[in-house]
Every structure is written in structure tokens, then in C-alpha cells.
Amino acid sequence: MSGVAEPRRSAPCARPGSSRKAFRAQGALLQVLFVALLAFAGHAFAASGAIEPLPFKDHAQEVRFQNLTKQLRCMVCQNENLADSNADLARDLRLEVFQLMQQGKSDDQIKQYLVDRYSDFVLYDPPLKPGTWLLWFGPLAILLAGGAVVTVAIRRRNRGGGTIDNDKPADGGQAGNEPADMGDDW
Amino acid sequence: MKRLIPFLVFALLVGLFGFGIWWNSWHDARYVPSPLIDKPAPDFALPKLDAPEQTVSKASLLGKPYLINVFASWCVACAEEHPVLMADGRRLGIALVGYDYKDVPDDARRWLREHGSPYDLVIADQPGRTAIDFGVYGAPESFLIDAKGVIRYKHIGPLTPEVIARELQPAIDAVKREAP
């Protein structure tokens, strides 16, 4: 276990206080149970505090906010994004992002603001720079290297076939020779 | 020789796989290097925990190196770190500034009364706004700030005697050599 603690969270689950009566009621029908479960679910959702209402100017701003916070990592629960995380710090950072948006900052400016404090790690999409070339181009380089190996192997095999064909003078100028000609480039 | 090539490639892949397992078994995936190292510490102005009417700012602390230690009464790992600071804090030869992070002041005061305070000064950041500027994402964290107000070293997680001997003390010595 790493010893880093995270700020206190609100209880993620709610206690089924009010719905208990529904269970106890005589002849509790399935419907009642269903309604009680719905109420419980709603209660649990509200208590999780995952989505606190922010006073967005309009729907477009809300969409932009959601889109932006989905691209940012929660530093406490590192496999969660800011939009989904229930951690205390994530809530603070959502508020920070919201306030920066109110100040008229662009998405890039807001990202840079967080990168300046928390490093590139806050971005789910790593930026392209010398330090990340291996990350970005590594797979392509491996694919190209593999392709080159396969190409060389195939050409060699074909050239091998070509020489066998060339042993038979009658075949000269036919299909068997073409790969051999291509092979001369190597 | 040619026949060995597939085997060598296979051995290479096994090696890579083994490295992945080995690397992930010891390195702390939570450790993120701070982009603030060797950059000026962010400006801050925070109230003292014991005297909230008094404000401590970055400017008021300039001139001498100091160590900011982020802690909170709710933080389990801080209680783990606390005895280390109590035992070795004085020997660091540098001012220790406690940074009470997102805490109820009364809880923090009680916590320090019960466990003892290793700090020369404690500042309180109840909303946690300044901590964002410092890139704090979990307590405890420690920042070494030199006389010019530049962050020189950061440690995430509890300070242990090993970390102090291996990393913190050499960093403090270097900072003190510049500005005694």
C-alpha cells in the first residue's frame, strides 16, 4: 500500500432509513417494494455527491464543462477522470475548472493551468513532445520494423524460388523470374 | 545462427515481460514528479492555525529555507509520519512549517495537542484552494523551499528516516550551503 491519503470523502452509500417501513408493512406488494427501492436508489445517488449542481450559464457551457473534465485525470483515484470522481480533491478541481471557465479561459488554458500544477499526468491524452515520442511513435516503429522483417523474409524466399526456376532454362522470362528481378533491388 | 533468431526474439519478449512485472512490483504508480521543482513556490497567504487573524505569506517567509509539511488530522498516513518528524524534525536544521490541509481547525489543534507539534509554525488551508497551486493531491506531502522562495525538493507520502537520510537531508544541506 502506498501511504498517500486522500481527502475525506462523503459516504458513498446511504442508509435505508425511510424505506424500512415499506418493508415492514403488512402485505407489502411488489409495487411498494419497487417504489421503496427507487426511493433508496435516488437517496443513494443524491448522497454520493458525485455531481454537485454548478450554476452553468447555458447548456453549451455545461456540455463544454463535461467534455473538458472527462479529459482530465483525478490525481487521487488515478484511473478516474475529474467528471466521474467522487474524491474531495476532484470536487475542488471541478470547481476550479468551472471558475476558470467563468473567467473566459479557453480549454487549452485550463488544461495548461492544471498541467503547471500537476504535470502532464492530469491529461488522459499525453501531449506530443520529445519525451513522449517513444510513446506516440513506438508502436508505429515496431510495426514498420516487423513489416520490414516480413518483407525481407518474403523476398528472400521468392528469390530462393527464382533461382530454382532459373535452373530450368525453359522457364526464363516467366512468372518465376519476376520476384527475382524485384529481389535485385536489395 | 539464423535458426536462433526466433528464439532470441522470444527471449527478448520474455525479458520485456519480466521487466514489466519487476517494474510494477516495486515502483509507486501514485508517484507523479512535480512540475514545480526548481520553480518559484506559488504565492500564498494563509492564516495561522493558532491565530487565524494573523496571515503568513510567501513574502514573509523569504530569506531562510524552510520545509512545508502538508498534514491533516483526518489523514492516516500523516499519523504514521508524525513520530518521524517529532524525532528527527529538529535535527533537519531548518524551519518546519506545518500546512494543515482541508481540515477542521479544532480537529487539527486537538490532533497537535494530543500528538505534539513538530512544527515551528502551522498554517491552515481549510478550503484547499492554495493547495491546488502547490499541486497537492494527497497528504502528507513535503516541500523544501529555499531562501529565494524556490521549491527545491518535494516528497509525496510519509517521510521516513530512510527518505530523510537519502533525499531530504542532502537537499537541505545543499540549500543551506547557498544561504546559511
For residue B8, the chain A residues in CB contact (below 8 A) are: none
CB distance from B163 to chain A under 8 Å? no
- The reported pLDDT for the residue numbered A86 is 86
For B62, list phi and psi in degrees, rounded to 5: -65, 155
User: Does residue A7 carry a pLDDT above 70?
Assistant: no
DSSP letters for B57-125: EHHHHTTS-EEEEEE-TT-HHHHHHHHHHHHHTGGG-SEEEEEEES--HHHHHHHHHHH----SEEEEE
- The reported pLDDT for the residue numbered B139 is 84
- The reported pLDDT for the residue numbered A40 is 58
* Subunit contact A3:B77, Cβ cutoff 8 A: yes
For residue A89, the chain B residues in CB contact (below 8 A) are: 128, 137-138
Higher-confidence residue of B141 and A180: namely: B141
Question: pLDDT-derived band of residue A77, with 50, 70 and 90 as boundaries?
Answer: confident
CB within 8 A of B88, min separation 6: which ones?
B161, B164
**How much of chain B exceeds pLDDT 90, in percent?**
82
For residue B81, the chain A residues in CB contact (below 8 A) are: 3
- The reported pLDDT for the residue numbered B58 is 94
The answer to which of A9-18, A23-32, A121-130, B113-122 has the lowest mean pLDDT is A9-18
With a threshold of 0.85, tell me whether the complex ipTM lies above it: no
- The reported pLDDT for the residue numbered B133 is 94
**How much of chain A exceeds pLDDT 90, in percent?**
33
For residue A116, the chain B residues in CB contact (below 8 A) are: 35
- The reported pLDDT for the residue numbered A39 is 60
Question: pLDDT-derived band of residue A2, with 50, 70 and 90 as boundaries?
Answer: very low
Q: Please tell me the distance from the alpha carbon of residue B138 to that of residue A83, in angstroms, as a whole number.
A: 19
Q: By C-alpha distance, which of B135, B70, B134 is closest to B102?
A: B70
CB distance from B110 to chain A under 8 Å? no
Mean pLDDT for chain A? 73
Averaged pLDDT for residues B128-146: 92
- The whole model's pTM is what? 0.69
Question: pLDDT-derived band of residue A160, with 50, 70 and 90 as boundaries?
Answer: confident
- The reported pLDDT for the residue numbered B138 is 83
- The reported pLDDT for the residue numbered B102 is 93
- The reported pLDDT for the residue numbered A11 is 36
User: Does residue A162 carry a pLDDT above 70?
Assistant: no
In angstroms, what separates the C-alpha of A16 from chain B's closest C-alpha?
27
Higher-confidence residue of A164 and B149: namely: B149
Higher-confidence residue of A76 and A161: namely: A76
- The reported pLDDT for the residue numbered B94 is 93
- Please state, in angstroms and as integers, the Cα–Cα distance from residue B146 to each residue in A119, A160, B35, B53, B71, following that order: 22, 71, 17, 26, 20
- The reported pLDDT for the residue numbered A21 is 46
Question: pLDDT-derived band of residue A113, with 50, 70 and 90 as boundaries?
Answer: very high
Interface test with A, best of B32, B34, B137, B154 (most A CBs within 10 A): B137
- The reported pLDDT for the residue numbered B167 is 92
User: Does residue A31 carry a pLDDT above 80?
Assistant: no
* Subunit contact A89:B128, Cβ cutoff 8 A: yes
Q: Which of B28, B80, B135 sits opposite A118 (nearest CB)?
A: B135
* Ramachandran category for residue B68: left, alpha or beta (phi over 0 → left; psi -120 to 50 → alpha): beta
* Subunit contact B102:A115, Cβ cutoff 8 A: no
Higher-confidence residue of A132 and B121: namely: B121
**How much of chain B exceeds pLDDT 70, in percent?**
98
CB distance from B84 to chain A under 8 Å? no
Question: pLDDT-derived band of residue A161, with 50, 70 and 90 as boundaries?
Answer: low
For residue B158, the chain A residues in CB contact (below 8 A) are: 3
Q: Which of A2, A76, A116 sits opposite B137 (nearest CB)?
A: A76
- The reported pLDDT for the residue numbered A125 is 87
